[in-house]
Structure 1
Amino acid sequence: MAFTIGDLSREFGVSLRTLRFYEDRDLLHPKRQGTNRIYSRRDRARLKLILMGKKVGFSLTEIKEMLDLYDLKDGQATQLKVALDKFTRQIELLKEQKRDIEKAIEELSRTLTVVSGMLRDREGEAASQAAE
């Protein structure tokens, strides 16, 4: 089955420019028919993995390294080991970021409470002075 650049753009909600960028970065390898790009099922699967990898925080360089390992002839054992290691490290990084975000939300919530109280006090003082 073959896909055009427009097919993949619509299916995955990415721009044509994005697909051409991934091609320039050697992540996708469409065939050419004249000036048209024809993407294979393999390209479609790679695009799906690229977008998933970006969504969970991998750089394009890291994604390319993992995808390139698929081309090794070791029954994918190397690719699976590398991917497992990268996934484990990324999960730890995301958990750390989650803890940092939760801490920032708690601090900001406390500050919001203090500032809201200060504003109520000021508004109350202004209302009292206006009534006098």
Structure 2
Amino acid sequence: MEHGYREPVYTIGIVAKTLKACPATLRIWERKDLIKPTRLGKNRFYSRCDMDRLEYIKELMQKKRINIEGVKQILSTTQCSGCQKLQAKGKEIL
């Protein structure tokens, strides 16, 4: 069964494992308004689009050494319809 790009189907554990990140890190990024997963009760669900955004956030923070406020600024200045455009635009800024 294939899911849409924006359909929230991945749990925080799956996303953390896929991105090689700690679930606590993903929760921090959520509290800092870098990502907004779909919530169902206490559970968080992420779409493929969310995962791409998280991958980009991780790249900015770890490889480019940009802090959370800097990442927020980059993400807020990119107005686009898809995460691929978001990533391309962000790389232009850098």
- The TM-score with structure 1 as length reference comes to 0.53
Contact 1:28 1:47 in 2 (8 A): yes
Task: Give the secondary structure class of the aligned counterpart of 1:38.
Answer: strand
Q: Structure 2: give runs of 5+ residues left out of the alignment.
A: 4-8
Q: Structure 1: give runs of 5+ residues left out of the alignment.
A: 88-132
Which of structures 1 and 2 has the bigger CA Rg? 1
Residue 52 in structure 1 maps to residue 59 in structure 2: yes
* 1:66 matched residue in structure 2: 74
Equivalent of residue 30 in structure 2, options 7, 23, 28:
23
Deviation by residue 1:43-72 (Cα, 9 ceiling, x = unmatched): 111101111101221111111111122346
Asked which structure has the greater RCO (Cα within 8 Å, sep 6+), the reply is 2
Contact 1:30 1:43 in 2 (8 A): yes
Identical residues among aligned pairs (%):
30
Task: Give the secondary structure class of the aligned counterpart of 2:44.
Answer: strand
Aligned residues: 81
- The TM-score with structure 2 as length reference comes to 0.72
Query: CA RMSD, aligned part only?
Result: 2.2
Q: Which has the higher helix share?
A: 1
* 2:92 matched residue in structure 1: 84
Which letter maps to 1:67? L
